[in-house]
Amino acid sequence: MAGVITASEPSWIGPFSGLSPRRFGKLVACVRRATTGELRRGRPWGLSLEDRILLVTAYWRTNLTMRQIAPPFGVSKSAADRFRNDAVLIVDGTLVPTRDHTVAEQSKNYRYSTAHQVVIDADTRWVVVVGRPLPGNRHDSRGWDEFGAKAAVGNTMTIADGGYQGTGLVIPHRRRKGEELPAWKEDHNRSHKQVRARVEHTFARMKGWKILRDCGLKGDGIYHAMLGVARLHNLAPTG
């Protein structure tokens, strides 16, 4: 099936990515540099690199499901939502202080906040998933399961902190009461913590946009602010 939307037609780039063709070209160049020399296993991609990037940016921009976004690009849902075979993702929750109390609750920072699940690529540190908001007093594991992050990640290896126990994610080894962990588990936990810190660094950069420190938007505006800042975070390294 021939694709309808393609990056080879510049008029599609603006509406579906929110970027000018020039800015989109910079993003493509950045991704190409980052992936040059990678050994690609498995089935070849059905879309060019440019079209794959346009598909992902359209997915973020429209918030359609992969089942909805795939047909206009001429590919199946399963082809559209593949992460790299060797990808490692990191998930964590972050709080956004929010003035709209109809969507927020008092959280551990004693402010009315919404809680958002954010997934990044451990290698590039780009944000790949932003879950829809929950009231700030909800547990991370509940947000992971209920508001889109789990479904978006699928079976891709994803690491998280100990608050995600029972989710099937890769979490630190737990120490039972009165017992010490063996040295090899301590080493694993230390390495796990060092890698997982990358998502905290991502949060720090995202919250350089002050709307995420005191969001005055209402309803879905908070979610769209998170999506917008995630896109800006991903574009920042491209200049």
Burial class (CB in 10 A: 0-12, 13-18, 19+), 41: exposed
The DSSP secondary-structure symbol of 219 reads: T
Residue type, 180: E
- One digit per residue, the tens of pLDDT, for the chain of length 239 reads 444 788 888 888 888 888 888 888 888 888 888 777 655 555 566 778 888 888 888 877 776 777 777 788 777 666 666 666 668 899 999 999 999 988 888 887 778 999 999 999 888 888 888 888 888 888 888 888 877 788 878 788 899 999 898 888 999 998 888 888 889 899 999 999 999 999 999 999 999 889 999 999 988 899 989 988 888 887 765 44
The CATH number that applies at residue 202 is 3.30.420
> What domain range includes position 70?
10-80
> How many folded domains does the chain comprise?
2
**Cα–Cα separations (whole angstroms), residue 31 to 9, 52, 53, 233:** 19, 11, 9, 15
Q: Are residues 178 and 134 in the same domain?
A: yes
Q: Are residues 113 and 29 in the same domain?
A: no
Q: Are residues 96 and 76 in the same domain?
A: no
Q: How many CA atoms lie within 13 A of 47 on its CB side?
A: 29
Give me the phi and psi of 170, to 5 degrees please: -85, 110
Tell me if 4 is assigned to some domain: no
Tell me if 73 is assigned to some domain: yes
Of 23, 51, 80, which one is at a domain's C-terminal end? 80
The overall pTM is greater than 0.75? no
Cα angle value 22/25/27 (rounded, 5°)? 115
Pairing of strands 158-159, 112-121: unpaired
Of 80, 112, 139, which one is at a domain's C-terminal end? 80
